[in-house]
Amino acid sequence: MHFTRSMDGEEVTLTSWPRCFQGFDRPTQHLAKKLVLDFDVWGVYIGKALEMLNNALRDEYSFPATRLLEIRFSRALVQRQQEDVAADLQRVQANINAFVQRVKLMAPMVNEIKVASRFYTSDLPLATIQCFSSLVTQLYQLANRISFSSYTGSAVIDLQLDMIGELVRMEYEVCHDNHRQILELARRSALTLQLLTIISKTGVDLSGLIRDAEGAFTEYSRLRTLKLTWRAHVTVSHGLIFKGALPFPKLRHLQVTQDTPFGDDILFRGNSATLEFLSVNVDSTVVDILGRYRVFTPTSHPKLQYVKVGHFSSTADPVISVVNYMQFVLGIAPGAPVREIRDGLTGTDLQTALSLLRKHVALQVLVLPNLCLSLWDVVALIKALPLLSDLHTLPPIFGEIPDGKSQDELSSYVYSTYAPMGERFRCWRVGYSWGQNPEEAVKCVQLLALACPNFSHVVPPFSDAVRTTLPLVATNASSDFDDYTTRVQHLVTE
C-alpha cells in the first residue's frame, strides 16, 4: 500500500501497489476533500488488488470532509488472468462487497464518484469485466453523481448499460469499438445528465448523440455543460447538426475543440436561449464554414457573455487570413454582450484586424497571444474599447512615434493627448518573446500608465529590467501625476 497527498492536503491518494506503506496523520484525513483509490494492477488481478486495498484501509481511517471519490484503474490487466479470476469469482465478489462497505464507512459524505479506466476489450477476460462492472455498479449506489473517464472497450460498456442506471456526469473517450454503446448510454441518461464530455480520436460520427438508429430525436433537458473534442487526423464528415433550437434547453457552457477538418456538416447550427459561455478551438478550415452558415447571430444566443476563440493550423491551410478570422470572431454576436475573445493571430494584415476589433465595444478581455503590438496600437484599442479590462499580448514595441515627437517628449505627449482613458483597464498580460528588448517593453508600460489611471498590474513583471532602466518619465510631464513614478515602480515590480 502506498500513500501520497497533495501539497494543500485536500487530496489523498492510496494505491494498491505493494510498496512500503507510510501511514498518515488524522489531520490529513480530516482535511481531504478528494480521495483517490488507485488500483495499480499490473500483473495483479482485480480481486487481489481489492484484497490488498481492503487490508490496507485500516478501521481508524476516516475522511469526513471527502465529497469526491475517484477510483483509478491505471494499468491494463493481462489475458492470462482469466483463470485467476474465473476460479475465484465468489472470493472476488466478497472483496468487492467488503471494499464498498469500507468506503461507505470511511467517507460517509461522498456524493460524487469518478471512475477512470483504461481497459480495452482485448485486454480483459470476461470474468474480469464482470467484476469491474459489479464494482462500478455498487459504487453507483453510494453517490448522487457518478462520472466515467474511460478508454473502455465495448464489452465493458455493454455491461454498464445493463447494470447502471441514469447518469448525471459522463466523460468518455470514444473510438470505433465503443462509440455506439457510449452514445446509447448518453441518450438513456438524457433526463439526468448535467455534464457530458466526449473525446474522439478516430473521427467517429457523433450524430447518434441526439438521434437513435431510428432517427428519434433526444433532448437533454438538464444538460448544462457540453464538451466535445475531435483529435483525429481525418476529415470529420458528420458533426452535430442542430436546426432551430439546440436540444439542450438549459445549456450554459459549450466547449468545442477540433484539430481536424470538418466537412460541410457543421458541428452545430442552431440557437440557444441559455448559452452563456462558448469556447471554440477549431481548425482554420472551419472558420469559413462557421461564417458561411452564420452559426452565431445576436438573436441566436441572447445570453452569450463569454467567448474564447482559438484555432489550430491545418495542413490544407496552414496560414489563416487575419481579416477573415477576425470577421468570424466579431460575427459571433455583433452587438451582443460578448466579453472575451481569444485568438491565435499569425497573419500580416494587422491593422485591418485591429480596426475590426475596435468596433466591438463590449469587449472586456482581449487575448492576442501571438501578436506584438506597438504602444500606439494598444492606445487605439483601449480608446475604442471602453470596457476593456484585461489585455494579453507579446511584449510591446514603440513603433512609429506620432507627430514627430522625440522620446524625451513622449511622457508629456501621452499624458496631454490621451489621459484619462481606459477607466476599466487594469491588467496587461505580456507573454515571452525571444529576443525582445525588455527595456522597450518597460517604457511602453510606463507610458501607458500615464494615460490609464486604473492600470495596476503587469503579468509577468519586468523586475530585472526595471532595476536598471526605470526612467523618470514624469519629469517633463504635468504636476497632476506627481505620484506617477512611485505608481509605475510598484506596477512593474510587484
Concatenating the DSSP letter of every residue in 109-161 gives: T--EEEEEE---GGG--HHHHHHHHHHHHHHHTT-SEEEEEE---HHHHHHHH
Q: Which fold has domain 1-165?
A: 3.80.10
Are 57 and 23 spatial neighbours (Cβ–Cβ below 8 Å)? no
Q: What is the tens place of the pLDDT at every residue in 124-166? A: 666 666 777 777 778 777 776 666 665 555 555 665 666 566 7
Say how far apart CA 172 and CA 226 lie, in whole Å.
12
pLDDT at 187: 85
- Give the three cell numbers for residue 76: 491494463
The pLDDT value given to residue 315: 38
The predicted pLDDT at position 27 comes to 46
Instruction: Please state, in angstroms and rounded to a whole number, the distance separating the CA atoms of residues 432 and 461.
Output: 11
Give the DSSP H or E segment for 256: strand 253-258
Checking if the pLDDT of 367 tops 60, the result is yes
Structure letter (DSSP) for residue 395: P
pLDDT of residue 9: 52
Residue of higher predicted confidence among 449 and 343: 449
Q: Is pLDDT at 407 greater than 70 in this prediction?
A: yes
Q: Hey, is 461 helix, strand or coil?
A: coil
pLDDT digits (tens, 9 = 90+) for 227-244: 877 765 444 444 454 445
> Residue 105 has which C-alpha cell?
464507512
H helix or E strand, kind and range, residue 327: helix 322-330
Q: What is the pLDDT of residues 9-22, one digit of tens each?
A: 567 766 654 443 34
Give the pLDDT confidence score for residue 96 in this predicted structure.
Answer: 83
List, for residues 338-353, the tens digit of each pLDDT value. Answer: 455 555 554 445 666 6
Distance of CA 408 to the CA centre of its chain: 46
Average pLDDT of the chain to the nearest whole number: 66
Rounded to an integer, what distance in angstroms lies between the CA atom of residue 327 and that of residue 106?
56
The residues near 26 (Cβ < 8 Å, ≥ 6 apart) are 62
Q: Which pLDDT does position 156 carry in this prediction? A: 57
**CA atoms of 278 and 36, how far apart (whole Å):** 31
Domain extents in the chain: 1-165
Question: How far apart (Å, rounded) are the C-alpha atoms in residues 91 and 131?
Answer: 11
- Give residue 402's pLDDT: 75
CA–CA distance, 142 with 62 (Å, rounded to integer): 16
3-state helix, strand, coil in the chain (%, to 5): 35, 20, 45
- Above 50 in pLDDT, residue 468? no
What pLDDT is stored for residue 379 in this prediction?
92
Of 418, 423, 414, 323, nearest in space to 364 by CA: 423
Q: Does the global pTM surpass 0.75?
A: no
For 321-480, where are the E strands, in sequence order? 340-342, 365-367, 390-393, 427-430, 457-459
pLDDT tens, 171-224?
Answer: 777 766 677 777 888 888 888 888 888 877 666 667 677 777 676 778 888 999
